[in-house]
A and B are shown apart, each in its own frame.
Chain A
């Protein structure tokens, strides 16, 4: 892996470790402070496990007041702080630093209030995404954003990354589904943005916090919007004889005025891999598989599926299967959900990319990626959130072969640059974190980046909160940017990844 430039280590902090640990015990129970190398080891990485670093100390505060005191102390003492939710992030956003305190929000794991009258849930940041839906589903409500790691990822982390999921085309990402939050700034100031009511006057600080990757403040409470479950949800598996046909069909569905709840594409390599893995019953003869999910009322769903069928037939689909019941619908998703582990079974290592492109360029992107695959002589499997143009090409390689690793890195960077060239962006939902930092220059010029850094400074004037992430340290465009998984041994390898 290419060497990673990290912020300059403050040796004086390393020397003060014992006194720092002692001071921290003034703010939280001593049991919440981990400083033994064995205790620190589990925190050395997030789900981008190719990068590891043991932090100075791990603190697991229990309430906002403790967070505030700890941050104030770190601010006064010039100690860096890395906030961490569940550690499921795929871009290394929670990678520790040697001279930094890792602030884990794992103990903030309670749902504080369920308010059906105002259609919201007040949750602590460590509550998992799925737990929110689970808390309200008996009344047929749910929380819409559904990142694939929803079993484990925390709502605080979702806010920090502005997580999406398969349903974000229709229901938006995290930023469109939260109403308010409480944060603690680096100097210990506690602020509330938004609330239970809609929108807010003045600068939309809540919107700014969403997707800020832990650089602006520590989230200590989130108010999320809950929605009533739709009456009918149905999915279809549609096979196509060519990449062009499938890509065109996906694009035509959107331009026909249908807004699917979810629309996913998998290429031949993945159809086979996932079907071997999960026995989902996918059309193995197809070059490309489209999964379309629609929701709404019975007649709405039926009418839209009629249109979808018509469009797909016009684009030469080779098979079309509509789910007859909930069980079958879930089985359609099973294969798609096991795309990542299926790749892990096919090669010793894989890199997962996360670019976004205009929907109309899907077929072109697939063709170009195939060409790159031939050029680099490395197999690639593709799954896309076709509805919103979010690509997850998975490059398969053997990490023990240094030459292959180097080629994979180049291949990955070429894909992300292709995304930008096609009018897209370098990250759709995994975040920039540490891994795509240097590629920021592909999208932004120095004015753009300077403005963002100035905002960072207005929240964190000493650059102590999650430094070294998102923005290139040297402002040079190195060729990096992907998730590296070795022998399926990444953290949470059992989690489905979309």
Chain B
């Protein structure tokens, strides 16, 4: 595709030639123009997750960052409609005032980049579909999207869904858009389901001496009637002073007296129900057999923020891998990782966040194969500077690739939007 053509557009462009459309009509006009001239474009928000996915080989760039602001918020209807690039922080602030929240806990990827919070926009959050620790209880980002509006690769403004939770009118395109990394539509408007904020939370931290106990406990937690809203395992490895110092610095809490490997689970609700649940869980998990401690709400809340923000990998220059498998294979995965990698396990044993040092790039292939064998997949979220792209960042089997390619074509026949961001040819 030639990229030299100057398109006929009045839309604001900054000195780096990035287009900043101010509304969906401008987005539509711009993409229509690109479509006419066979020009591909990168779609960005505020760049908080720019390192995820392949670099797109496009000379044009559209920033949707001007499409920002709350369109309507009806707390009693449990939904909020926003422009696609509304900052997550802004949404969280307005929900907070009405004691509500985005229950799926958006991940703040800023910390792994430079140690500072950068939550980005809701559009980026939806486009990547990465939910935080509460995934096991409330579902993923995709489960909270009620509807959207966006511009497809032909420049057509399309919509799907609505503002109500019960809706089976037509194909559920919201699901397709979640996790599509801007390859199907440039999002312009998103309607999200919001939920009441939990009154309080507590975290039980269990010291783990024998790794075999990790999945025994995860299994009991997921079988408990005392709904836990998050469960993680944080090992104390690899065995290096630097690592331990860093880990102890991040997870420094008054009531967290031990520094070894631990499993932590969160209970939410009002105070009485939390106490009730802790009592039941103590029995179900045989907590008398383990050294354990409970973090009250003032420690529990920041604890889970640190988990959700991937602070363990703060300012990393290494590869960050996100690996989802079935819990039944978790112990085998622990054994594989044992003492070689910095990692932790979220989602009650399903999600492994792993850091693989730049020198071990070749190990990623082996790791990926294993993730597949263990009933899941592995995504390379962030690559080290010297990453050779020998192993693709996203994986897909042949049949799904064939369908995905056709779906891409149905939205974006000329591959205008973020071409190659996830897969070559899509």
Which chain A residues have a beta carbon within 8 Å of chain B's beta carbons?
Answer: 115-119, 140, 161-162, 164, 168-169, 172-173, 175-176, 185, 189-193, 195-208, 210-212, 215-216, 228-231, 251-252, 254-255, 257-259, 296-300, 303, 356-360, 385, 388-390, 423-432, 436, 440, 443-444, 447-452, 454-459, 470
Say yes or no: A175 contacts B76, CB within 8 Å: no
- B364 sits at the interface (CB 8 A): no
CB <8 Å contact, A432 and B169: yes
A48 to chain B, nearest CB (A): 15
29 A–B contacts from the bound complex (CB under 8 Å):
A118-B375, A161-B168, A193-B400, A197-B377, A203-B407, A204-B179, A207-B175, A228-B224, A231-B280, A252-B76, A259-B195, A297-B276, A300-B270, A300-B272, A356-B165, A358-B164, A359-B76, A424-B164, A427-B168, A427-B169, A436-B169, A443-B162, A447-B158, A448-B158, A448-B170, A455-B176, A456-B171, A458-B403, A458-B406
Residues of A within 8 A of B166 (CB): 164, 168, 173, 356, 385, 388-390, 428-429
Residue of A nearest to B402 (CB): A189
B74 near A432 with CB under 8 A, answer no
Q: Is the CB of A202 within 8 A of B168?
A: no
- Are A447 and B156 closer than 8 Å at their CB atoms? yes
User: Please, which residues of chain B bring their CB within 8 A of the CB of A455?
Assistant: 171, 173, 176, 407, 410
8 A-B pairs closest in CB distance: A207-B175, A255-B76, A257-B196, A458-B406, A428-B166, A454-B410, A197-B376, A299-B272
* In the complex, residue of chain B having the shortest beta-carbon distance to the beta carbon of A213: B168
Taken together as a complex, chains A and B put the C-alpha atoms of A474 and B169 apart, in Å, by: 18
In the bound complex, CA of A451 to CA of B412 (Å): 10
B60 contacts partner chain A, Cβ-Cβ < 8 Å: no
Contacts of A258 in B (CB 8 A): 196
Provide the residues of chain A in CB contact with B162, threshold 8 Å. Answer: 356, 423-425, 443
**Which residues of B (138-195) have their CB < 8 Å from a CB of A?**
139-140, 142-143, 152, 156-160, 162-176, 178-180, 184, 195
Known: A201-B394, A296-B273, A303-B273. A211 touches B168 (CB 8 A): yes
Bound state CA distance, A281 and B386, in angstroms? 73
User: B342 in the interface, Cβ–Cβ < 8 Å?
Assistant: no
The residue on B at minimum CB distance from A212 is B171
Contacting residues, chain B, for A298 (C-beta < 8 A): 276
Is A425's CB under 8 angstroms from B326's CB? no
Chain A nearest CB from B230 CB (Å) reads 13
B222 within 8 A of A: yes
Known: A385-B166, A429-B168. A189 touches B399 (CB 8 A): yes
Kindly list chain B residues whose C-beta atoms are within 8 Å of the C-beta of A254: 76-78
User: Are A389 and B276 CB-contacts (below 8 A) given A198-B135, A458-B409?
Assistant: no
Hey, which chain A residues are within 8 Å of B180, CB to CB?
A: 203
Q: Please give me the residue from chain A that is nearest to B408 by CB atom.
A: A203
Residues of B within 8 A of A201 (CB): 179, 377, 379, 394-396
Q: Please, which residues of chain B bring their CB within 8 A of the CB of A300?
A: 269-270, 272-273, 276
In the complex, the answer to whether B157 meets A447 with C-beta atoms within 8 Å is yes
Known contacts A424-B162, A427-B168, A458-B407; is A176 also within 8 Å of B78 by CB? no
With A and B bound together, what is the CA distance between A389 and B79 in angstroms? 13
CB-based nearest A residue for B327? A118
CB pair B175 A210 closer than 8 Å: yes
B406 in contact with A459 (CB, 8 Å) = yes
A388-B164, A448-B158 known; A175 and B175 CB under 8 Å?
Answer: yes
Chain B min CB distance to A141 (Å): 8
Query: Which residue of the partner chain, among A203, A255, A356, A360, contacts B167 with CB atoms under 8 Å?
Result: A356
| With known contacts A202-B400, A259-B196, A444-B170, A208–B176 Cβ distance under 8 A | yes
Contacting pair A202 B423 (CB below 8 A) = yes
Given contacts A298-B276, A356-B167, A451-B410, 14 further A-B contacts (CB under 8 A): A168-B166, A191-B403, A197-B376, A201-B379, A202-B396, A203-B176, A203-B184, A208-B172, A208-B407, A300-B269, A303-B270, A356-B165, A360-B77, A455-B173
Residues of A within 8 A of B131 (CB): 199
Give the residues from 398 to 424 in chain B that come closer than 8 angstroms, CB to CB, to chain A: 399-400, 402-404, 406-407, 409-411, 422-423
